[in-house]
Structure 1
Amino acid sequence: MFHLYISVFIYCVFSMSVKASSLDELKTKYVELILECSNSYPITGDDMSELRQKTMPDSEPVKCLFACVYKKAGMMNEHGQLSVQGVNEMTRKYLADDPEKIKKSEEFTQACESVNDVEVSDGERGCDRAALIFKCTVEKSPDFDLL
C-alpha cells in the first residue's frame, strides 16, 4: 500500500527519472508526509483503485490527503493554491544535475498553474484544488515527456 501512495505522489509531481539517491530521498520524505497526513485523511481500497487508474476519487478524504501532503511538501501554499515557486524549488533540489529536466519540469508546473484561477468551494483548505492539481498532472505530463 505504501508503494502505491509513494507512486501516486511522485507521479503527481516528478513523473520523470532522477538520480537514485535523490529519488530515494524524495521517497523517504513522501512516506513520512503520507503517514502523517493519512492519520487525518484515511482512504479506502476503492479510492486506491481509482488512483491506480489515474483518476481522482470524488472523496473528500482523498482530496484532503493530497492537499495535506502538497502543503507539507511546499507544493501548495497556506492559501490552498499550487505553489509554482515551491514546486520549482523541489525540482531544482532533486534534479540539480539535469538542467533539461529542470526546464521541462518548470514548464510543466507553469502549465498547471491555471488551477489557481479555478473557483473552489473549500477555499484555503485546498482539497478541491489538490484534486485539480492531480487532474492537471495526469492530463499534461505526456505533453512534457515526463513519463
Structure 2
Amino acid sequence: MKCFILLTIVCATIGFSEQAISKEQVIEMFKKMAEECAGKEGATAADLQEAAEKKLPSTPSGKCMHACVLEKIGFLKDNKGNMEGYVGLAKEVFGNDVANIQKATEIANECANVSDTDRCEAAFKVVKCADAAAQARGVSLCFGEW
C-alpha cells in the first residue's frame, strides 16, 4: 500500500495502457488538487509529504485531504464509493478502449458500496478497496514520482 493515495484510483484507471491524457497532466492536476484540499482540510506539510511518498494517510487531516480530492473527481459521494464517477473518468481517459474500461468498471463495482459515516474514513476505505481490487487484477495503481 505504498501508492500515492491522491492518485490511487485515477492511476488504477490510467495505469493500464494507452492513455487519452498524459501521465504528466494527471500528476499535475492531482498535485494542484492536493494542495488546494490540504489548505481546505487543514492538512500539514507532513500530510502532503506522506502522500508524495506514496503512503496511506496516517492522520485525520491527511485522510480528509484525500476525501476532498476524491469528492472533487467524483469518486466519493455521500461518504461512499461512487461507481459512476469512477467509470466516467475511465471513459474519458480510455476513450474507446473497452478492455481498460472493463477493468476500471470491475474495480468500481467492487468498491461502489464501500462507505463510512465519516467522509474522511470513507475515502480511506475506498482507496484501500481500490488498491486491493486493482492488485487482484494485476493492475498497478501508481506510476512514477511527482
TM bracket (short chain): 0.7 to 0.9
| Equivalence for 2:66 | 66
Alpha carbons of structure 1 residues 114 and 69: separation in structure 2 relative to 1, 3 Å:
same
Gap change, CA 1:50 and 1:66, over 3 Å in 2? closer
Query: Is the partner of 2:21 in helix, strand or coil?
Result: helix
Find the counterpart in structure 1 of residue 8 from structure 2: 11
Cα 1:134–1:65, aligned 2, differ >3 Å: closer, same or farther? same
TM-score normalised by length of structure 1: 0.75
Do the aligned residues in 1 keep the contact of 2:37 with 2:69 (CA within 8 Å)?
yes
CA distance in 1, matches of 2:65, 2:51: 15
1:83, distance to aligned residue in structure 2 (A): 1.1
Q: Identify which range, 37-46 or 98-107, moves more after superposition.
A: 37-46
2:120 aligns to what?
127
2:106 corresponding residue in structure 1: 107
Q: Which amino acid aligns with 1:84?
A: M
Aligned-residue offset at 1:68: 0.4
CA distance in 2 between counterparts of 1:105 and 1:82 reads 13
Whole-angstrom CA distance in 2 between matches of 1:88 and 1:141: 14
Contact kept? 1:112, 1:133, Cα under 8 Å: yes
Match in the other structure for 2:130 = 137
Alignment partner, residue 23 of structure 1: 23
**What corresponds to 2:81 in structure 1?**
82
* Matched ranges for 1:87-98 at <5 A: 87-98=86-97
Report the RMSD for the aligned CA atoms in angstroms.
Answer: 2.8
**2:38 matched to which residue of 1?**
38
With structure 2 as the length reference, what TM-score do the two structures score?
A: 0.76
> Aligned partners of 1:24 and 1:50: how far apart in 2?
17
CA distance in 2, matches of 1:88, 1:52: 27
Bigger helix fraction = 1
Question: Sequence identity, in percent?
Answer: 19
Once superposed, which parts of structure 1, at least 4 consecutive aligned residues long, lie more than 4 Å away?
A: 46-54
Shift of 1:81: 1.7
Structure 2: any 5+ residue segments left out of the alignment? 141-146
Q: Distance in 2 between matches of 1:121 and 1:20?
A: 35
Larger relative contact order (C-alpha < 8 A, sep ≥ 6)?
A: 2
Distance 1:37 1:55, change over 3 A: closer
Give the match's secondary structure for 1:21.
coil
Name the count of aligned residue pairs: 135
